[in-house]
Structure 1
Amino acid sequence: MQTITMQGVSIPRLGFGTFRMPGGDCQPVVESALALGYRHIDTAAMYENEAAVGAAIAAAALPREDVFVTTKVWHDGLGSRDAILRAFDASLAKLALDHVDLYMVHWPSKDMDMGVVLETLTELRERGRTRAIGVCNFNMPTMRRAIEDVGAPIAALQVEYHPFLDQSAMLAYLRGRGIPLTAYAPLAQGRAAEDATLKQIGDKHGVSAAQAAIAWLLDQDGVIAIPKAQRAESQRANLAALEVRLDDEDRAAIAALPKDQRFVRPPFAPDWDARTL
């Protein structure tokens, strides 16, 4: 598995997402993914499946250092240092692990104290309870504040990213600081599989449109993808995308696709068009 190393922590470039897999039904799905070779599992308190993910990891009986585990604190748990610590303790207990590899702010809260939030995550990192810290769904001004003003040791940003959404400005900013971008919804919630351009590229390489979309993400420096897949054959196909090699013609065709399609827009999302604070 290809990895990206940030702050001495190696992150597998193709992870396994578990959003909308609540409860115990998640356990056999994650067990299947681990058996097939996935070594990066992404969960969150809000997904209500941390216990199932932890049980799957235990059942796999892999060396702990071989599995990269990400979880996240929900935006309603960012009110104070104690609230964040309680949320972390609850997540770790459900996962039944002695540490996680990456602990992230799931969504920014409009009234959160950025300094307190990131200092608390940094404290967890310094205590060895998480190996790295990160943030999700931060726009450019919020990201700049976290890195340039607070000086937090951000090891990854997780945002929506797929062939129909432009993240070039954020990627340029992150690359200048050696920070990877983790793409969630990398298949645009299933839309990539039906896109004619991606199907054409997939046919050219003997793969599916979805595999072409994942290959396009992994073709980019500093990008990690975390597709989810419940069926073993889909999990296997996503792994096979690691072997697809796109050419300049493929890249140009994907570059010509509309890049303004954002599909994750909860009411508490930040202003994605904001450029300054």
Structure 2
Amino acid sequence: MAADINKIDLVIQYALLVAGEEDDFFNQQLGPIHLIKYVYLADMFYARRNQGETFTGVDWTFYNFGPWSQTVHSRVEPALVAIMANKQSFESDYGDEDWHRWNLRNERLLADKKGSLPAAITLRLDRDIHKYLKDTPSLLDYVYKTPPMIHAAPNEHLDFSLACEQMDGESDSPKLRIESLSNKKQKKFKEKMSTLREEFQKRKANKPKLVSPVEEPRHDDVFIEGVKWLESLAGDDFSSKKLTVKFSPDVWKSKTRKGEDVS
């Protein structure tokens, strides 16, 4: 299956527009590294419900501890220029090429793009975008632990059929729908829920209560000595040392990396 440029552009545009729902301008800005990972997640969510087939047809590779596609990277700027997104450039702290951040707030365009994407993508991708936004370390950690990644070694192609294995028992729960909302909408929802809880507590307060007496906990010498004894079972304190650890390349295919039990 060849990569579909139009679908790649659609997901890139959609991801930026979802971030644009945030009230804080700082949170609306995404860079290429974030957008690439959100396209990867879109492909994974789609593959879960489509027998391992991805939405974009991109051939993803395990590169530098994450999923990578040069095709997707090359489409970031054209896709965002096409919807007239705002671009800001910053000088890199590492002396290499400049950093770029994009943002765009357009509710009408967002609704249009959302209507062009499968629900299998939008519900979960919305949740992840609002959760991670441009928090690079957290986003990379989350993506790194997805099934196609933990079953691959560096420079290998990713197998999205592995994502289907996690579908059993999954459902589009109310909690997932709430998490897919922007922070502003989640805040309004929580305020309404808080009001309902207050009303419930007021009604509950009018009912007779049975209060059980609670004894004060003992913090005497016996308690203190008991805590010391329990702590002593852990052994001596660790000494501070700097060590170098080397791992075999076989670690990439180990069962422990996949979260499986090892006998």
TM-score with structure 1 setting the length = 0.26
Q: Identify the structure with bigger relative contact order (alpha carbons < 8 Å, sequence gap 6+).
A: 2
Higher-helix-fraction structure: 2
Q: Which has the higher strand share?
A: 1
Bigger radius of gyration, 1 or 2?
A: 2
TM-score norm. by structure 2 comes to: 0.27
